[in-house]
Chain A
Amino acid sequence: STQFIPPYTEECRTGMYPPNGPTFRGPVSWYTVDLDSPPSQRWTAVITEKKQDLIRMIQAVRNLANAFVPSGKLIELVDITLPLMANTLPSPFGEEIKGIAEVSGVPLGEVVLFNIFYEIFTV
């Protein structure tokens, strides 16, 4: 049973495994990342398949940024400054991020933002 007032705490669930029903959206696909290949090429297989989803997610973040700064200046700042940040990141992360931007067509600054979001989000 679920209480119908926040925080909607339920009785401890049982028998939920194997995953099924309304709390289970779907399984997760497996990919291989070959650490012997050059950093810029390691993510090609994953990003080729997930490119559209990545573009949609980045667009959602852009929409959010533009909601805060309608002039678009915030995104402009990201696209101008964060590519410089990519060159300061320790190897192999900078090269891997550049490879992801290359394959996905997403601006490098926005892929960098996605990858350092944890530090930024603590703001």
Chain B
Amino acid sequence: CTSVVAEDEKGNLLHARNLDFGLFMGWDMKNKSWIITEKLKPLVVNLDFRRNNQTVFKSTNFAGYVGMLTGIKPHTFTLTMNERFTLDGGYIGILEWIMGQRDGMWMSFLTRSVLENATSYEGAKRQLAETKMLAPAYFILGGNQSRQGCIITRSRLLSIDVLEIDVKLGRWYVLETNYDHWKDPLFLDDRRTPAMKCMNQTTQAKISVKTLYDVLSTKPVLNKLTTYTTLMQVSEGKLESYIRDCPNPCMPW
């Protein structure tokens, strides 16, 4: 996965993501594609969660999955999550759960409850940073005013790091793939470098939904695991998603 929150020169926050999933879950030699990835693509849906006939939040989901991986609380905040791999992983959280220790939150149920109940960027950030979880994760959060964009690097128990947008430091976007931002990504899976190269080439002056889509359409940011691309504009309360393909030659991940 690749998630990015960017602030344009007018102080608008834009949030975009590629959802990549299905690694090592069966490779279709004939079609040069991942079996599960291809089965997930027809399940991609946009959802408008309503209460009293008012939109509470909107999301892009796989039908049948009740948690959230990509969502927007219109005019308030935007949220995506990317997978994080550590030895202290979800299987430990599941074992604790089975043994009856149930004070942790399942990752996608946490994101769902944040989108449903948080009423501000700061409130959402606090919940995502402080709630004990069953598995580690990266939460990428965008707000509705200048400098409100961050990557929260989570272990099961702690918030290890929060990297914020800081335009004064020249950091007008934050971008996360699936590696801690203070470490180099695995050389076999470096989607961060090409993505940042294209963001820097775009420049803050020209960042928009269109140019974010360009960045997420550039191989290997776009790869054989990419199921959908979502573009979100918090100030307009807008979410749009597109099902993707990656024509050969294309990286398997």
A residues with CB within 8 A of B? 2, 4, 6-17, 19, 22-36, 43, 46-47, 49-50, 53-54, 56-57, 60-61, 63-64, 67, 85, 88-90, 93, 96-97, 100, 104, 106, 111, 114-116, 118-123
Cβ-defined contact, B218 with A47, below 8 A:
no
Known: A23-B246, A90-B109. A8 touches B218 (CB 8 A): no
Interface class of chain B by DSSP: mixed
Cβ-defined contact, B39 with A6, below 8 A:
no
Known: A16-B214, A53-B42, A57-B43. A118 touches B108 (CB 8 A): yes
CB B196 to nearest CB in A, in angstroms, measures 11
Task: A100 to B72: give the CA distance in the assembly, Å.
Answer: 23
Given A34-B50, A50-B45, A57-B40; 18 other pairs, CB 8 A cutoff: A2-B249, A7-B219, A9-B220, A12-B214, A12-B215, A24-B243, A25-B242, A25-B243, A28-B44, A28-B60, A30-B47, A32-B49, A33-B50, A36-B51, A67-B26, A100-B64, A122-B85, A122-B135
Known: A10-B219, A32-B48, A60-B36. A53 touches B135 (CB 8 A): no
Cβ-closest chain B residue relative to A117: B65
Cβ-defined contact, A60 with B26, below 8 A:
yes
Cβ-defined contact, A9 with B219, below 8 A:
yes
A residues in contact with B60, CB < 8 Å? 28
Cβ-closest chain B residue relative to A20: B242
Cβ-defined contact, A12 with B42, below 8 A:
no
Top-4 shortest CB links A-B: A119-B90, A122-B89, A50-B63, A12-B198
Interface size class of B (residues with CB under 8 A): 35 or more
CB B30 to nearest CB in A, in angstroms, measures 15
Task: A60 to B43: give the CA distance in the assembly, Å.
Answer: 13
The one of B116, B197, B219 in contact with A8, judged by C-beta atoms closer than 8 angstroms, is B219
